[in-house]
Structure 1
Amino acid sequence: MENCRIRWRKVLYEHQAFPDNYVDQRFLEELQKNIYVRQYEYWSVVRESSVVTQQLASVCVFVVLWWYMDQGVLLPHWLFGTGLLFSLIGYLLFDVIDTGQGRRQNGRTRWADLKSATLFLTFTYGFSPLLKTLTESISTDTIYAMSVFMLLGHLVFFDYGANAAVVSSTLSLNMAIFASVCLASRLPRSFHAFVTVTFAIQIFALWPMLQKKLKASVPCCYLGVTVLCTVSALLGLLTISGVAALLFALLLFSVSFLCPLYLIQLQHYKDNIHGPWDEAEIKDDLSQFLK
């Protein structure tokens, strides 16, 4: 009876005649549900999924071109020259879209970029015989299994624009380069290994930078490039295996259209609660207390 006559207060600094876990009926009056739930639009989510689609297509293109070189269908000199040409076009396009802002912030010049590219090509070409013979003692099946695992890891840790702990651009790039080194060691000559590693840098390091710039500045062009990359990957894979092309097409369709639909449907099952039991948030500006 004494506890009923004394009004309970929601404070911690005062000793009250109530158990520590006691709350009254007013406690749940501050209950709020789903106050931070984000409402998604289907086609907006489909457009955002193009980042995943394009990266899947990039990995597919890399594997297809490696298979062409391994079978002797694609000459490494042709791939090297075409890769340099597209890299130059992408570099100029990036500079035009960026209007030189990033260059001014980093204090770099075109001459410095040219020296860095020349140094990388020279270094890679000089070590290509070593890359060719680096994994000779490892069986081919193990090399292929390691390459698949590394490319899957590259896709998992790739920065798709989400703020998540699993994202690691450095780890993703390193896994892709390691996969390219493994695959390059099974090609006929050291020049093939040099071209494979160079192309891996172009498609896994330089190409994503241009993708982000296109998506931020020219969304329409970015969607067109995504469609072009996807079609190129499917056509290239179709020349190798019709079954693989069909499975890859189903994968892209699921990622681009079915997964966004499933995500939107799952929003109806969200039931997040917020109330006085949450951690306190200090919203006042600290500068007000320092004046």
Structure 2
Amino acid sequence: MERKIKWKKILYEDQGVPDNFVDDTFLEELKKNLNTRTYHFWPVVVESGVVTQQVSSICLFVVMFRYMQLDWLSPQWLFAGTLSLAVTGYILNELVDRQNNKTTGRTRWDDVKTVFIFVAFGYGLSPVFMTLTDTISTDTIYAMTAFMLLSNLLFHDYGADAALVSQSLSLNAAMFASVCLASRLTTTVHAFATITFAVEMFALWPMLRRKLKKNVVHSQAAMTAVLGVSAAVAIYTLSGVSALLFVIVHLFITFVCPAWLIKLQDYKE
């Protein structure tokens, strides 16, 4: 017999039906995919640059270490290049802040004093870095370095709001890796140049990248291309196979992964 009393979604009243009874109106107010974000291929390709840029930075750092190890690059030239890039980055940072009318409350003299303090402490501690891992085998050092650089890549702040993100852990892992590699060079000047370059690549450069990405139109694609080409050419001077592998990984992250993401949108409920 048809029910004459309309069923209601309540449990505190006996409606003459089992507790798990539902009628056709039970899911009529269900709403799905209210907050689903629709992705498009080319914007995702551009955004994937935050990952490939960090991969390229790590590769450039390792290549510079290998150059010094082979005596292809002197520590003086590496420090000079690091200083030149730091000055260029500082000017870009000032231009972006001025364009957006932002002030940090620091003067240029404050920044110069900070640089001098870092250089003094870094050079003074270089002998310590050189002897810090004397009792550890080179194979173990390289294994620890690889693990720390992978940790830097994993925990780096790519702009996602996730529990896995830890900028401090990512930076500490990179600096630990740089100390490990610096301890396998020949002089304290080599160690100092390596640590200085690491600070620029893993501390200062990511901050500038995020600021440029946020405030300068089309800078994201340009940074990805410049870093990718520079890293590929640098790796090629050491190994053609490694350069080919780097290009494959770079293209996979840039084009294949976004295509997968777009394809999987159809299955999102």
Question: Normalized against structure 2, the TM-score is what?
Answer: 0.93
Corresponding residue number in structure 2 for 1:279: none
Give the deviation of 1:258 after TM superposition. Answer: 0.8
2:72 is paired with a residue whose SS is coil
1:65 and 2:88 are equivalent in the alignment: no
Give the deviation of 1:70 after TM superposition. Answer: 0.8
Give 1:65's aligned amino acid: M
Q: Which string of whole-angstrom CA distances, capped at 9 and with x for unpartnered residues, describes residues 49-85 of structure 1?
A: 1111111110110000000001111000000011011
1:109 and 2:78 are equivalent in the alignment: no
Instruction: Report if aligned partners of 1:103, 1:109 keep a CA contact under 8 Å in 2.
Output: no
Corresponding residue number in structure 2 for 1:40: 39
Corresponding residue number in structure 2 for 1:276: none
Corresponding residue number in structure 1 for 2:219: 221
Give the deviation of 1:37 after TM superposition. Answer: 2.2
Give the deviation of 1:7 after TM superposition. Answer: 4.5
1:239 and 2:245 are equivalent in the alignment: no
Match of 1:120 among 109, 118, 143: 118
Corresponding residue number in structure 2 for 1:176: 174
Provide the C-alpha distance between the structure 1 equivalents of 2:206 and 2:90, rounded to a whole number of angstroms: 12
Q: Which string of whole-angstrom CA distances, capped at 9 and with x for unpartnered residues, describes residues 82-116 of structure 1?
A: 10111011101111111186863x42222112111
Corresponding residue number in structure 2 for 1:16: 13
Give 1:33's aligned amino acid: K
Give 1:133's aligned amino acid: T
Provide the C-alpha distance between the structure 2 equivalents of 1:234 and 1:245, rounded to a whole number of angstroms: 5
Instruction: Report if aligned partners of 2:46, 2:220 keep a CA contact under 8 Å in 1.
Output: no
Question: Normalized against structure 1, the TM-score is what?
Answer: 0.86
1:136-215 aligned at under 5 Å gives the runs 136-215=134-213
Give the deviation of 1:216 after TM superposition. Answer: 1.2
Give 2:183's aligned amino acid: S
Give the deviation of 1:165 after TM superposition. Answer: 1.2
Unaligned runs of 5+ in 2: none
Provide the C-alpha distance between the structure 1 equivalents of 2:101 and 2:82, rounded to a whole number of angstroms: 24
Unaligned runs of 5+ in 1: 273-291
Percent of residue pairs identical: 52
Instruction: Report if aligned partners of 2:145, 2:180 keep a CA contact under 8 Å in 1.
Output: yes
1:78 and 2:77 are equivalent in the alignment: yes
Give the deviation of 1:33 after TM superposition. Answer: 2.6
Provide the C-alpha distance between the structure 2 equivalents of 1:89 and 1:151, rounded to a whole number of angstroms: 26
Give the deviation of 1:5 after TM superposition. Answer: 5.9
Corresponding residue number in structure 1 for 2:256: 258
Q: Which string of whole-angstrom CA distances, capped at 9 and with x for unpartnered residues, describes residues 113-152 of structure 1?
A: 2111211111111111001100110111010001001101
1:16 is paired with a residue whose SS is coil
Give the deviation of 1:8 after TM superposition. Answer: 4.2
Equivalent pairs, count:
267
CA RMSD of aligned residues (A): 2.0
Provide the C-alpha distance between the structure 1 equivalents of 2:178 and 2:101, rounded to a whole number of angstroms: 29
2:114 is paired with a residue whose SS is helix
Q: Which runs of 4+ in 1 moved over 6 A?
A: 100-103
